[in-house]
C-alpha cells in the first residue's frame, strides 16, 4: 500500500545545498510508489519546485501564517505558498509550539487558512515526556485534536494528515515502541470517529515522526494504523532519506 514519506528540512540548507540535495535525491526515488514530500525553508520553495517539476516528489512548507494577508511583517500567507507550488504545509510542529509559543487557537486558524487555499495540512501532535510517564497521553492527544480541528467540516478531513510526534522522541534517538504508536494511532482514529464518523476515522492518514532512520523506518511505517513517516534529521541526507522513502 502507498505510504506517505515526508522530509522536514527545518532551518537547514542554502539554495545551493537544496539544488545539490534534489539532484542526488530524485534518481534514488524515481521508482518509488510512495507519496514523497520535501519541506525546504520558505526561501528555497520556488527553486525547489522548479527542480521537482519532472518528478513525482511533492513540495511542502514548514509553516504558514494564521492571517490571510496584509500588514504582518515577516509572515507568509497560505496563498503565497500555494502560488509557488507547495501542495502541503506542516502546522503545529512541536518546535513552533515550544520555541515560538504557538497555541491551539493559532494552530486552528493556520489550518483553516491552509485548507482555504487548497493546501493539504500535516498537523503535528504528540505528548510530552511528563504526559507519557504519567499516562496522560490519551487525554493530551484528544484535547489537541478537539481544539485544533475545531470548525472543520468532515469533507475537509481528506486534506488533513495527522503526524503523531511525541515531543520526547524528536531529535533524541528515543522513540516509542511500534506497539505504543499503534495504540496512539487508534486513539487518534477513535477521536475522529467520535467527532465525525467511522468512515473518516478509517480514512484519515496518520503518520509517525520522531527519530526515524533507515534502520527502523520499515517497522514504524508498517505498524497498524500508520500510513507513513515524518522525518526530520535523517531527511537531510539524500541517500538516507531515499532509503526511508523507498520503504
Ligand atoms: C521532526 O522534527 O518532525 C522530526 C521527526 O525530527 P527527527 O526525525 O529529527 O526526530
Tell me, using a 6 A CB cutoff, whether residue 115 lines ligand 1: no
The rounded distance, in Å, linking the Cα atoms of 15 and 20 is 9
User: In this structure, what C-alpha cell is assigned to residue 159?
Assistant: 486534506
Indicate the pLDDT class of residue 160, thresholds 50, 70 and 90: very high
The rounded distance, in Å, linking the Cα atoms of 59 and 164 is 20
Per-residue pLDDT tens digits for 115-156: 999 999 999 999 999 999 999 999 999 999 999 999 999 999
Per-residue pLDDT tens digits for 166-180: 999 999 999 999 999
Count helices and strands in the chain by DSSP H and E runs: 11, 8
Write out the DSSP string of 181-220. HHHHHHHHHHHHHHHT-HHHHHHSEEEEESS--TTTHHHH
CATH of the domain at 68: 3.20.20.70
The rounded distance, in Å, linking the Cα atoms of 151 and 115 is 12
Domain housing 225: 4-245
The rounded distance, in Å, linking the Cα atoms of 37 and 88 is 8
Indicate the pLDDT class of residue 113, thresholds 50, 70 and 90: very high
Indicate the pLDDT class of residue 216, thresholds 50, 70 and 90: very high
For residues 89-101, give the mean pLDDT.
98
Q: How remote is the CA of residue 99 from the centroid of ligand 1, in Å?
A: 15
Q: Give the distance from CA 156 to its chain's centroid.
A: 17
For residues 50-63, give the mean pLDDT.
97
Measuring from atom 2 of ligand 1, which residue has the nearest CA? 232
Tell me, using a 6 A CB cutoff, whether residue 174 lines ligand 1: no
Q: What is the pLDDT of residue 183?
A: 98
Q: What is the pLDDT of residue 206?
A: 98
The rounded distance, in Å, linking the Cα atoms of 185 and 182 is 5
Catalytic residues: 93, 165
For residues 73-89, give the mean pLDDT.
98
According to DSSP, residue 142 is labeled H
Q: How remote is the CA of residue 170 from the centroid of ligand 1, in Å?
A: 5
Measuring from atom 8 of ligand 1, which residue has the nearest CA? 232
Mean pLDDT rounded to a whole number for the chain:
98
Q: What is the pLDDT of residue 178?
A: 98
Tell me, using a 6 A CB cutoff, whether residue 217 lines ligand 1: no
Indicate the pLDDT class of residue 157, thresholds 50, 70 and 90: very high
Q: How remote is the CA of residue 3 from the centroid of ligand 1, in Å?
A: 18
The rounded distance, in Å, linking the Cα atoms of 134 and 246 is 36
Widest distance between CA atoms in the chain:
49
Helices 104-116 and 137-148, interaxial angle, to 10°?
50
Measuring from atom 4 of ligand 1, which residue has the nearest CA? 232
User: In this structure, what C-alpha cell is assigned to residue 163?
Assistant: 503526524
Measuring from atom 3 of ligand 1, which residue has the nearest CA? 232
Residue 80: name the closest of 105, 36, 49 by CA. Answer: 49
Sequence-ordered list of residues with C-beta below 8 angstroms from that of 72, at least 6 positions apart, any chain = 65
Measuring from atom 7 of ligand 1, which residue has the nearest CA? 232
Tell me, using a 6 A CB cutoff, whether residue 232 lines ligand 1: yes
**How many structural domains compose the chain?**
1
Tell me, using a 6 A CB cutoff, whether residue 5 lines ligand 1: no
Per-residue pLDDT tens digits for 19-47: 999 999 999 999 999 999 999 999 999 99
Tell me, using a 6 A CB cutoff, whether residue 211 lines ligand 1: yes
The rounded distance, in Å, linking the Cα atoms of 62 and 88 is 9
Amino acid at each position: 500500500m502507498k505510504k506517505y514519506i515526508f522530509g522536514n528540512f527545518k532551518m537547514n540548507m542554502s539554495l545551493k545545498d537544496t539544488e545539490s540535495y534534489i539532484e542526488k535525491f530524485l534518481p534514488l526515488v524515481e521508482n518509488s510508489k510512495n507519496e514523497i514530500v520535501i519541506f525546504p525553508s520558505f526561501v528555497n520553495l520556488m527553486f525547489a519546485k522548479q527542480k521537482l517539476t519532472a518528478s513525482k516528489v511533492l513540495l511542502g512548507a514548514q509553516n504558514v501564517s494564521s492571517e490571510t494577508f496584509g500588514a504582518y511583517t515577516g509572515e507568509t500567507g497560505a496563498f503565497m505558498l500555494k502560488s509557488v507550488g507547495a501542495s502541503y504545509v506542516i502546522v503545529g510542529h512541536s518546535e513552533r509550539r515550544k520555541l515560538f509559543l504557538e497555541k491551539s487557537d493559532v494552530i486552528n486558524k493556520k489550518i483553516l487558512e491552509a485548507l482555504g487555499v487548497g493546501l493539504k495540512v500535516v498537523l503535528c501532535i504528540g505528548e510530552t515526556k511528563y504526559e507519557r510517564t504519567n499516562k496522560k497521553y490519551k487525554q493530551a492527544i484528544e484535547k489537541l485534536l478537539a481544539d485544533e480541528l475545531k470548525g472543520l467540516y468532515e469533507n475537509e478531513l481528506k486534506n488533513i494528515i495527522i503526524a503523531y510526534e511525541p515531543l520526547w522522541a524528536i531529535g533524541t534517538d528515543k522513540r516509542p515502541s511500534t506497539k505504543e504508536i499503534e495504540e496512539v494511532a487508534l486513539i487518534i482514529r477513535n477521536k475522529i470517529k467520535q467527532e465525525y464518523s467511522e468512515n473518516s476515522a478509517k480514512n484519515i492518514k496518520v503518520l509517525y515522526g520522531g527519530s526515524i532512520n533507515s534502520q527502523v523506518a520499515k517497522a514504524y511505517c508498517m505498524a497498524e494504523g500508520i500510513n507513513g513517516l515524518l522525518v526530520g534529521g535523517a531527511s537531510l541526507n539524500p541517500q538516507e532519506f531515499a532509503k526511508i522513502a523507498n520503504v
